[in-house]
Structure 1
Amino acid sequence: MARPRKFDREDILNRMKLAFWENGYNDISMDDVGRITNLNRGSIYNAFGDKRALYLEALELYGQQHYGAAVELIQQADNTPTAVQQLYEGAFKSMKDDQARWGCFMCNAAVEVAPADPEVAIIVKKYIATLSKAFLHSLQKSYPTANTIKYPKNIAEQLTSSYIGFNVMARTGMTIASLRRISDASVEVVTA
């Protein structure tokens, strides 16, 4: 008879999410996974599969948590300029300690893993599209007539690209002042 699992799956996924987010996929070995999770290889393989399967699950969890929160923030804001400003302010607040240099796990995955892994690319595209759709919906709600703001889909994609670029630049160590200019410019784009 198999022994029941004696670990919290969500806790393990959150720990691995942080490890992959900080270090990337390629710099985490199975020995690292064992050390981070306090599980032996057999338990890891039985519960999650291989390192790649664990990475995919951790990336999905990040998408649900972080992109889900971003979409909810955008949906609840009174208008698009407020939504964009609040989204960036949330990003600035999260830039504390060492996490400032981590950037966005989804963006990191897009650069490091997605070009060689179609499943990772699908996850990245899904969450980026979700963010872009939230911006588009916000724009359509804030500016219901086409004359107020032209090409709302293009602007939604521009806001998404700017936010993703902001997160990539945060990982490079760009100064807060420079990041603040990116966020200010994004708010200007949607201020009619």
Structure 2
Amino acid sequence: MPKVKMFDKNIVLNKAIQLFWLKGYFNTSMQDLVDYLEINRASIYDTYGNKRELFLLAFKNYINSNNKSLVEFLEKENSTKLGLLNLLQLPIEASFCENGNKGCFAVNTATEMLPKDDEIRDILRDNRLELESIFYSHLKRGFDNGELSSDKDIQELASFLYTLLNGILVIAKVNPDKRYLINILKTGLTVLD
């Protein structure tokens, strides 16, 4: 009779995301995973593979979930400019929440694992392209409804917004001053005027 898994694979995967996000890849041991996920080592290997395979699965799951949430958030916003302001304020607010300033999992992974890890670089490159596409779609809506000037290069703006978002995520860890970060954000978004 085959063994029946006594845990929910998605719940455990989400817990793995939280652990890797908090500690990083290299600072997370298999024993950390066993303790935090509350499943035995054999179950981790059997279900997810080795530590690297679990990390990649967790990281890709985080990116997919994050990007889906971003699309859903922007689709609910009537104003392009206000929608972007509201969206880009979220990571600033998150920097001051109860969970502390753990930053963005993608940015943390980039700073920890690049430039030596080609697979991570490819995942992050694809994520950049997807985020720029999401920003592009939102900006195009503003262009089409007349909120943005027709002299704007939407692709350049989408790339800029990706850079602005990542810059804010990094600076929030270095200088967690809410007013400073909001001022950077508002100044950056003047490119939409």
Q: TM-score normalized by structure 2?
A: 0.89
State the superposition RMSD in angstroms: 1.9
SS class of match (1:115): coil
Aligned length: 190
Question: Which range moves more in the overlay, 159-168 or 126-135?
Answer: 126-135
Aligned to 2:122: 122
The CA distance in 2 between the partners of 1:152 and 1:51, in whole Å, is: 40
Distance 1:70 1:157, change over 3 A: same
Secondary structure of 2:4's counterpart equals coil
1:187 and 2:189 equivalent? yes
CA offset digits 1:23-76 (Å, max 9, x no partner) = 111110111011111122111100100111111111112112222211222233
**Matched ranges for 1:107-186 at <5 A:** 107-144=107-144, 148-186=150-188
Secondary structure at 1:5's aligned position in 2?
coil
Unaligned runs of 5+ in 2: none
For residues 75-96 of structure 1, the C-alpha deviation after alignment (integer angstroms, 9 at most, x for no partner) is: 3322321221110232234330
Q: Which amino acid aligns with 1:79?
A: S
Instruction: Name 1:98's counterpart in structure 2.
Output: 99
The 3 A distance-change label for structure 1 pair 114 and 4 is farther
The two structures have a TM-score, normalised by structure 1, of 0.89
CA contact (8 A) 2:92 2:168 kept: no
Unaligned runs of at least 5 residues, structure 1? none
What residue number does 2:30 align with?
A: 30
Match of 1:70 in 2: 70
Aligned to 1:85: 85
